[in-house]
Structure 1
Amino acid sequence: LSQSAWMIIGMRFLQGAFSGYINNAAALIAGETPHSKSGWAMSAISTAGIAGNLVGPLLGGVLSGAFGYRVPFFITGFLMFCLFLSTTFLVKERHFKPIKKEKMRPIKEVMAEIPNRKLIFVTFLTTLIVMASSMSISPIISLYVRQLMHNHGNIAFVAGIVAATPGLGTLIAASKVGHTMDEIGPEKVLRIGLITAFILFVPMTFTHSPWSLAFWRFLLGLANAALMPAAQTVLTLNVPTEAFGRVFSINQSFQAGGAVFGSLLGSIISGLSSYPMVFAITGLTLLINFILIVLVQPKKPATN
């Protein structure tokens, strides 16, 4: 019902201020799922989020094209109300034990008891870098595709395919990656995902065709299936249950910070240098992230 762009901006800001559903859903799933199935569960919720990100813009575009821009807001609001009802009446927490505010230990005290605190902090940083690596490319995809196509052909259609291919790759790989995490551990999967993503950014930096860019981004989506779910699983397995809500909220803050930082990074680099340089620097940040993960891994005791 907004009457100006500023009203929409204000409502969107309030929407962001109350966007605690996803991190609380992740915390709830982490608390209710046996540790032996944590990898699969975190991959499942990540897959659901990716599917929403793919279907949402498509649904919004179809509805706005058929009925105007206001109708998608009403339909989305109705869907969110249905989500509220289903969560309220259908979701049951069996293992949650409420903690009174006066008995709740400070987060610093809880974190101090974690054996490998550096791993937790690097995991937060990983969430920021992974989100930034995704968002740094988003502002320039259409422009880069237009450059690669020399401003000829159906640029919007091709750019849409290039933008969607990572999500498709992640959807395909997420379930398998989740089971793999339960078998070999999330830290190992995270390391493999980071170094693979870094390697895939190399050919993307030198590509001269939008279709080859789409191909490499599809493979990047397969690697991305190992990143965010693995980071969330690391938190699940290394943080006390009583701190799940607060820790996952901190993690979401880093995720939001990564979205802001990534978008700014991509815009600034492309403005100062070139579009391929965005891919090069983004890949470099993932390599640095991989090195940090390796450095904070606990050393195995020597065997005689």
Structure 2
Amino acid sequence: MTLAGTDCLRNWRIDFFTLWIVQFVAAVGFQVAGPFVPLYIQELGVHGVREAAVWSGIMGAMGGLTLAVASPIWGAIADRRGRKLMVERATIGAAIFQAGMGLATNVQQLVVLRTLQSFVSGVQSAVMALAATVIPQTSIGFAMGALQTATALGSTLGPFIGGWMAAGLGYRSTFFVTGILLASSGFLAQFAIHEHFTPPAATTERVRPFSGFQEVLRVSGMPGMLLVVAVSRAAANSMSIAIPLILQEMAGGNPDVSAATGTVVGLTAIAMAGGAVVWGRLGDRIGQVRVLHMCLLLSVIAIVPQTLVRSPWQLAVGQMVYTAALAGLLPTANALIGLIGPKGRTGVVYGASGTALALGNALGPTLAGMLIGILGTRIMFVGVGVVLMGLYVVLRTSLSPKVVVQPVQRRV
């Protein structure tokens, strides 16, 4: 994109600020309702902590798998129809189905609505794709970092709002508020962002959104990095099911633990935001592979002892330490993916990363629900620790610290 004159400069800054608001509001919206799904499921007639965990896992799996399939399809459409349209589709489409989830009368309806919502959603990837087209290349690094900050801040604020709202107005209200916030961000993008999009020349060639994945997987070190992306998301999302159920057990089975859940999830989001910044800077100094090794070991050390927690504040502190260590995995792996990926194939490379991310989002809740349903809530901490330790062993034996010869900040 060519920018000329102060008007264009002013316009891209306005567009970027609007995108930042869209990303922030959407992140707040999703986290207003997200942490309370296991509790809402029980309100819909599912009795017992373990049964709620199983249904939460099914719901998360359906959503994650659907998003994994849909993401490359929407990406191909964006290249032909425009990226701004995809932001509108993701936000307004998700708003409709999120609000519908608040009207569900049974858990089966909730699963179907979540699956449909995942097919039309993908707000974060849509926003970043649009940002890459409206922002000058000289400012793209700053812009992407700022959008990540918007996500972290929104994910921090959302659970606090949702927790107190659910305590006062019930769980259904959180889905309605999510729908309002998502729709507002979509309409803001529609009316305030100006995309200079030129449709590609008409062609009879068939679009193949899944092409190129095989080439990416043949790159040395790439399968390991995609595994890190998937496992890091699975490890993080498995806790989203376990935390409210563990808090419920601590409260003697009382289902009204929404405020405590919102507080714990909000504090872990703060730890995630801070940890990502620290690990990112350290990776530039000592190497990304070494940071991956350190994050995995510290995550194991932090998660396993939480089997012994006896109070909400002990759980909150343990989760903050664990999340701060886990926070380095995803950004570090994505930095390595960009560094070792084939030149000129950035879209395909990060498309593969997006699919791995969605699969992790699906597998985490599914496996967590099954594990809790069979062995109870506390086993989650040991199970996640074993998986992360296994990933550490795999990376330690298959990925050399010398795989990256240039520090991240030198890549243009």
Answer whether TM exceeds 0.5 for this pair.
yes
Partners in 2 of 1:100 and 1:193 — Cα distance?
48
Check 1:74–1:275 CA distance in 2 against 1; reply closer, same or farther (3 A cut).
Answer: closer
Aligned to 2:156: 54
Change (3 A) 1:161 1:11: closer
Q: How has the CA–CA distance of structure 1 residues 212 and 291 changed in structure 2, closer, same or farther, with 3 Å as cutoff? A: same
Q: CA deviation at 1:113?
A: 7.1
Question: In 2 relative to 1, CA 142–211 (structure 1 residues): closer, same or farther, beyond 3 Å?
Answer: same
Q: CA deviation at 1:25?
A: 5.3
Residues 109, 57 of structure 1: alpha-carbon distance in 2 compared, 3 angstrom cutoff: closer
Matches within 5 A, 1:61-80: 69=173, 70=176, 72-80=178-186
Q: Distance in 1 between matches of 2:388 and 2:103?
A: 40
2:308 maps to 206
- 1:184 and 2:289 aligned: no
- Structure 2 counterpart of 1:251: 353
- Quote the Cα distance in structure 2 between the aligned partners of 1:7 and 1:271: 21
Name the amino acid aligned to 1:217: Q
Number of aligned positions between the proteins: 290
CA distance in 1, matches of 2:201, 2:326: 36
Contact 2:160 2:262 in 1 (8 A): no
Q: Alignment partner for residue 335 of structure 2, among 217, 220, 233? A: 233
Counterpart pick for 1:219 among 313, 317, 321? 321
Given the alignment of the two structures, is residue 107 of structure 1 paired with residue 212 of structure 2, yes or no? yes
Select which of 358, 373, 383 maps to 1:281: 383
**C-alpha separation between the residues in 2 aligned to 1:80 and 1:204?**
40
Q: What is aligned with 1:293?
A: 395
Partner Cα distance (2:372, 2:111) in 1: 26
Identical counterparts, % of pairs: 24
- Counterpart pick for 1:194 among 296, 304, 312: 296
What CA distance in whole angstroms lies between the structure 2 residues aligned with 1:132 and 1:141? 14
Separation (CA, whole Å) in 1 of partners of 2:162 and 2:401:
49
Q: CA deviation at 1:197?
A: 0.5
The aligned counterpart of 2:273 is 171
Given the superposition, is the C-alpha separation of residues 257 and 83 from structure 1 closer, same or farther in structure 2, using an over 3 Å criterion?
A: same
In structure 2, do the counterparts of structure 1 residues 160 and 242 end up closer, same or farther at CA, with 3 Å as the change threshold?
A: same
Q: Deviations over 1:231-258 (max 9, x none)?
A: 1111111113532222222222222221
The runs of 5 or more residues in structure 1 that have no matched partner are none
Structure 1 residue 22 displacement after superposition: 2.6
Q: Is the 8 A contact 1:27 1:244 kept in 2?
A: no
**Change in CA separation of 1:159 and 1:7 when aligned onto 2, cut-off 3 Å:** closer
| Structure 2 contact 157–266 (Cα < 8 Å) conserved | no
Q: 1:16: which partner in 2?
A: 118
SS in structure 2 opposite 1:89? coil
8 Å contact from structure 2 (residues 299, 388) kept in 1: yes
Residue in 2 aligned with 1:83? Answer: 189
**CA distance in 2 between partners of 1:8 and 1:270 (Å):** 20
Aligned counterpart, 1:272: 374
Distance in 1 between residues matched to 2:268 and 2:164, nearest whole Å:
22
Distance across 1 between alignment mates of 2:234 and 2:271: 19
Q: Deviations over 1:55-108 (max 9, x none)?
A: 334456677868x8446523421212323555x537x99xxxx99987x99525
Q: TM-score, normalised by structure 2?
A: 0.58
Unaligned runs of 5+ in 2: 1-95, 404-412
Amino acid at match of 1:190: L
User: RMSD in angstroms over aligned alpha carbons?
Assistant: 4.0
**1:300 positional shift:** 5.4
Shift, 1:214, TM fit: 1.0
Contact persistence 1:195–1:290 (CA under 8 A): yes
